[in-house]
Amino acid sequence: MKVLSIARNTFREAVRHKVFYLLLFFGVFFVFSSRFVSMLSVGDQEKVLMDVGLASIHFFSVLVAIFTGINLVYKEIEKKTIYNILSKPITRTQFVLGKFAGLALTLLAALAGMAVLFFLFLFITTGSFAPRCLIFFALLYIELLIITSLSLVFSSFSTPILSSIFTVVLYLVGQVLWTFQEFKTRLHEPFSRYVATALYYLLPNLDKFNVKNEIVMQMPLAPDRLLAAAAYGIVYVAALLTLAVVIFRRREFN
């Protein structure tokens, strides 16, 4: 109940944040602007709308996850409200988990809202529903939870600026982490190959959740791949939350 109470307060605070509404507005705006892009494109209108719309939602939902997540803990410390919270019968573990749950609920609400508008716009424009896009949104949500966990880890010991930089860098690396496997084959020193292998398994492999091309082009998706991606995301989020709790429990407040 204590975790749920913190989650509710975090959710209410996040949805009142101006950055959240600004990014959500731009996400919806780009979904609708895909209509004009499709009019200027040559090819299947439905595929163009889906491609631009899903890419826009992905981009802005990631921004929402980063810029709302980096202030999860730091704002409480900066405003000195952390002392009042921890003076109550609330452990630091419950505080971190509550903050994460609140932002996870915020991201779910934002993503669900953009998904509803996307499906509605697609149906009005093309007369189709494209139910396979639900797979894209499900995997995107798991990816957002990983990004949120990363921002929570960094915000547990760093400033918002540094937290945002670290999170953005790891997000960009995670999108191209598959290149580490090919890069490893070009290394001649065993130590360098070990380092590349370690980084490949330690850093977040966000490419596992990228199914936009398969969805847009109506390519087959193996159930094993989807289940493996979901399991990977759950395990990675759990590991990051554990790390965030350990860091936050060791932190001293002056």
**pLDDT tens-digit map of 10-28:** 777 777 766 567 666 766 7
pLDDT band at 86 (very low <50, low <70, confident <90, very high): low
Question: pLDDT averaged over the chain?
Answer: 81
pLDDT of residue 137: 95
Q: Answer yes or no: is pLDDT of 42 > 60.
A: no
pLDDT value at 74 more than 80: no
Are 226 and 142 contacting, i.e. CB atoms less than 8 angstroms apart?
no
- pLDDT tens-digit profile of 157-192? 877 788 888 989 999 988 888 777 777 677 777 777
User: For residue 239, which amino acid is it?
Assistant: A
Binning pLDDT at 50, 70 and 90, where does residue 8 land?
confident
Three-state SS string across the chain, please?
A: CHHHHHHHHHHHHHHCCHHHHHHHHHHHHHHHHHHHHHHCCCCCHHHHHHHHHHHHHHHHHHHHHHHHHCCCCHHHHHCCHHHHHHCCCCCHHHHHHHHHHHHHHHHHHHHHHHHHHHHHHHHHHHCCCCCCHHHHHHHHHHHHHHHHHHHHHHHCCCCHHHHHHHHHHHHHHHHCCCHHHHHHHCCCCHHHHHHHHHHHHHCCCHHHHCCHHHHHCCCCCCHHHHHHHHHHHHHHHHHHHHHHHHHHHHCCCC
Q: pLDDT value at position 24?
A: 66
- pLDDT-derived band at 38 (thresholds 50, 70, 90) equals low
pLDDT tens digits for 98-148? Answer: 888 988 988 898 888 888 888 888 887 777 788 889 999 999 999 999 999
pLDDT score for 93: 84
Distance CA 227, CA 208 (A): 11
Closest residue by Cα to residue 106 from 1, 7, 176, 253:
7
Q: Which residues contact 174 (CB under 8 A, 6 or more apart)?
A: 146, 203, 204, 205, 206, 207
Residues for the chain: how many in total?
254
86 vs 89, more confident: 89
The reported pLDDT for the residue numbered 198 is 82
For residue 41, what pLDDT band results from cuts at 50, 70 and 90?
low
Round to whole Å and give the CA distance between 170 and 82: 28
* Percentage of the chain exceeding pLDDT 90: 18
User: What dihedral do alpha carbons 32, 34, 39, 45 form, nearest 10°?
Assistant: -110
> What angle (nearest 5°) sits at the alpha carbon of residue 179, between those of residues 174 and 184?
120
Q: Provide the pLDDT for residue 61.
A: 87
